[in-house]
Structure 1
Amino acid sequence: MKFWQKTYLCVLIVFLIAFDLGAYGLLKKSYQLNEQLDISRGVSVYGSIEKSLSYILRVYTERTGITNYETVIASFAANYYKEDILLEVYQADQLIFSNAYQFVGDRAELHGDPYQSVYRKMNDELWLFIGGKMEFQDLRLVISRNSDYLQEYYATLRQYFITLSVVISLILSAALIFLLFQLTAPIRRLNKGVRAIAAGAYDRRVIVRGNDEFGELAQDFNRMVDAVSNHIETIKKASEDKEIFINNLTHELKTPITAIKGYSEFLNHANYNEEERRMAVHYIYEHIARLDVLSGKMMQLLYLKSEEVALEPVQIENLFSYVVNMERHHLEAKQMTIRIECSADEVYGDQELLQSLFINLVENSIKASSFGGEIQMRSYHYDEGVVLEVLDYGRGIPEKDIEKITEAFYVVDRSRSKELGGIGLGLSICNQIAQLHHANIQIDSKENEYTRVSVYFTTPLQLED
């Protein structure tokens, strides 16, 4: 049974019980008031009859001296019989006249002083009996009058309340159903939203207007869904990144392993001369060296993902000079030069990691540049931060690849990358190092013209100098 149905039944049952109890109390009170009024009228009639009969009997006795009153009483009683009022007269507990119903049983009205009233059922009709002592010669008078209208009144009033109860119940039922549907509409919307989200529609939100408990519940539910959705997106992104990473790693490992396997089989089974042997050994060495570089880069990338660094002052000119010294053999091989310009003197960071970052950037610039080219390494203040920059005038990067260039294993031209010894991890490592320093990398490039890689250090520590 649904919540609105339970509420509907509970309210309806409580109302019916309360209404019926109230109606019963009102009906009983009304009946009692009418009964008292009927008794009051009966007592008034009894008093009038008793005085009139006492007076007639007294005058009759004084004039005639006769003590047999039956004829006089019968003549008197005939006048009231037409009004459904019956009389009984007793003398010393002996009935001397009666035109009323006779029955055996206790007659409380015979002992009334000055009078006593009693209701009795006679032939399925309600009668009021009133009895008391007369003023004349210790006679006792009992009158009985038909009060069946009280029962009819009670039955009519009861039927009225039953009809009223049914009508009000129907009206209340319709009103309750309408109100409960309106009040529980937020619950239905919330329930619908929960089912949709449980089915995977994490973009759905529950719209419940108002500042009541339902509105607060809907807001809390939406906040919970936002948190769950963000968490799921984070997990999904991490899973996708992991899958891409593993797929790329598998691909990168497959090429050198296949080559090493092929040349090994060649050396074991083929007939070859000394020159072919040296060539095969040279290729095996190259691919082993490539695997060595790949494993080293992988370890460095994993290390960076789990490392926190302490930021210390680093002299920019010394940093650039170290990078140039480390790359001098590559520069000499392509007859290239590096020009250093330092307008900013110092940044805060981990010196070894910053060295690795700029060695990677300079190596990329050397690979992208032609013989005799120039690379610029610059530092300068920008707004409230410090910028370290590497600029080359090589083949550049296509615009469509710039956003993805910092992803692990992503390379612009795979065939040329392998020719130059690249594996697509350099800029990913650079990006990780920058993030550890709370810095960000921006790449500006135009194909076949230039590539500028700028590292923006904007944390408060960079501003202390």
Structure 2
Amino acid sequence: MKFFYKIFLSMLLVLTVSLATIEYLTVSYSLEHALQREENTALSQHQMAKYSIQTVLLGITDDYTTSNMENIAKSAETPLGAQSGLFFASQNSQSGRDETVYYNSCKINPSDRIPATGILEYEIRETEKDRYLQVRSSFTLDTNSFVLVTEKNVKELFQDADTLRRRCEFFYWCILATGSFLVLVITFTLTKPLHRLQGTTRRFAKGEYDVRAEISSRDEIGDLSKTFNYMAKTIESKMEELKDAVRRQEEFTANFAHELKTPMTSIIGYADTLYQKTLSPEEVHQLAGIIMNEGMRLEALSFKLMELVTLSQSNFQLEEARIDEVIADAVETIQPTAEKRNVRVQLQTESAWVRLEYDFFKTLLLNLMDNALKSGTDRINIQGSCEKEQYMISIRDYGRGIPKEDLQKITEAFDMVDKSRSRKEHGAGLGLALAVKIAKLHHTELVYESVAGQGTCVSFMLAKEADDEEEEA
């Protein structure tokens, strides 16, 4: 069952039960209250008639003739009113049955329900058209027992109750009809945002990831719409990331195939030339050099790819190490290459302990230094300094720099700002992509600052394991 019908039927059921209960209680209370009032009045009138008859009978001792007793009963009936009746008779105390009926103006004969001596009874008795409230009692004077019954017509009381019931039924149906319409409007108003949210959800499921739910209230439905919008935004962001990842993967595959194809084509072509033709020693030496260069580029590419795959699939244990010694070791490794390029390496570091994976961290430093050497700079500044609980490492060159539009994508695999120069120097555009992964392994990230024509600075922070004072202690 739909939520709309659940709300509508539930509210309609509550309204119906509430109105029926109110109607029943109203009619019942009204009839009960009116009937109680009539019973009290009838009991009072019965007692007055009884005392009136007893007072007269006390004045006479033996004149219990029928005519005399009838006059006494009529005198006692007069205060009861036109809609009342009276029954008066003598009673045989042994048999319990009346011997003589002196007077009877009751519409319903009460002789079949004579109470015992000293008992007061009352009940409502019905005919086809009327209802009467009869009060019965018996009393004894000297050795004589008498029965007195008073009767009052309460037909109007029940007619008033019926009239009230019909009016309540009329108002019940009017209020129920009006209430049903209002419940329908309220239910539609409450569920309308849900219908809109449902439509938005369906559109989102069909691929419209930019669609958002309309927030028209501050209640739970509004909160649900906000949650949906947050979810949609998150999913849209993830979809964009997936699309970007797919694009990067496609570019990676295309670039990888291209990077393999170019040197392989050169190697095969020049090798075929060596095989097919008779060349001079100088030409053989020249072609062999080209083949060697292309082979070295393939070797560098394979090593870089292997390291990228290894970083993606393994977990590594970080161990404590003296960071200044690790940096000095990397500078010593790169020094011969720097001397060949006539590049001066300036090293300035402070001592500190950090956690790192030695081989990969050295690879990170060597890649950053290698990029600096290839920038056309004449010197490289490498600094390591303590900053409170962290250790900052920066590598600065004064070479060509990186254009602002290329700065955001230099860490992508196979991205090369100057492709011809990179291939000439056996580069494949994997160094910085590898450096980013190694930095992430060490819970840090690379920060690039570059100005075209002025140089580039790469820096990152590592968490220190101990302060200098602790190290000395």
Pairwise same-fold verdict (TM > 0.5): yes
Is 1:149 aligned with 2:156?
yes
Provide structure 1 residue ranges, at least 5 long, that are not aligned to the other structure: none
- Structure 1 distance, partners of 2:353, 2:145, is 133
Counterpart residue number, 1:406:
411
Code of the residue aligned with 1:69 in structure 2: it is S
Deviation at 1:203, TM superposition (A): 7.3
Deviation at 1:272, TM superposition (A): 5.1
Over residues 203-241 of structure 1, what are the superposed CA-to-partner deviations in whole Å (9 max), with x where a residue is unaligned?
Answer: 77979758xxx59x959994x986896588468536633
CA, structure 1 residues 124+298, in 2 after alignment: closer, same or farther (shift >3 Å)? same
Q: TM-score normalized by structure 2?
A: 0.70
CA, structure 1 residues 171+380, in 2 after alignment: closer, same or farther (shift >3 Å)? same
Counterpart residue number, 1:363:
370
**Percent of residue pairs identical:** 16
- Structure 2 distance, partners of 1:380, 1:128, is 113
> 2:345 pairs with 323, 339, 346, which one?
339
Counterpart residue number, 2:94:
none
Code of the residue aligned with 1:317 in structure 2: it is A
Counterpart residue number, 1:424:
429
Is 1:293 aligned with 2:300?
yes
8 Å contact kept, 1:256–1:287: no
- Structure 1 distance, partners of 2:235, 2:108, is 96
Counterpart residue number, 2:82:
83
Code of the residue aligned with 2:456 in structure 1: it is R
Moved more, 12-21 or 31-40: 12-21
Counterpart residue number, 2:319:
310
Deviation at 1:432, TM superposition (A): 2.6
- Structure 2 distance, partners of 1:389, 1:53, is 131
Deviation at 1:324, TM superposition (A): 0.6
Provide structure 2 residue ranges, at least 5 long, that are not aligned to the other structure: 91-97
RMSD: 5.1
- Structure 2 distance, partners of 1:410, 1:144, is 114
- Structure 2 distance, partners of 1:257, 1:422, is 15
Deviation at 1:293, TM superposition (A): 2.0
Query: SS at 1:300's partner residue?
Result: helix
Counterpart residue number, 1:50:
53
Q: TM-score normalized by structure 1?
A: 0.71
CA, structure 1 residues 432+142, in 2 after alignment: closer, same or farther (shift >3 Å)? closer
Aligned pairs for 1:369-380 (under 5 A) are 369=376, 374-380=378-384
- Structure 1 distance, partners of 2:251, 2:413, is 11
Deviation at 1:376, TM superposition (A): 2.0
- Structure 1 distance, partners of 2:44, 2:429, is 115
- Structure 2 distance, partners of 1:35, 1:79, is 17
Aligned pairs for 1:60-459 (under 5 A) are 67=65, 69=67, 73=71, 76=74, 80=78, 83-88=82-87, 90=89, 93-95=99-101, 98=104, 100-101=106-107, 107-109=112-114, 113=118, 117-130=122-135, 132=138, 142-159=149-166, 162=169, 196=200, 199=204, 200=209, 218=223, 222=227, 233=237, 237=241, 240-241=244-245, 243-257=247-261, 260=264, 264=268, 273-275=277-279, 286-305=293-312, 306-308=314-316, 309-314=318-323, 315=325, 316-325=327-336, 327=337, 331-332=339-340, 334=341, 336-345=342-351, 348=354, 349-369=356-376, 374-381=378-385, 383-384=387-388, 385-447=390-452, 449-459=453-463
Counterpart residue number, 2:93:
none
- Structure 2 distance, partners of 1:79, 1:317, is 132
CA, structure 1 residues 453+237, in 2 after alignment: closer, same or farther (shift >3 Å)? same
Is 1:15 aligned with 2:18?
yes
8 Å contact kept, 1:391–1:450: no
Code of the residue aligned with 2:366 in structure 1: it is I
- Structure 2 distance, partners of 1:259, 1:340, is 35
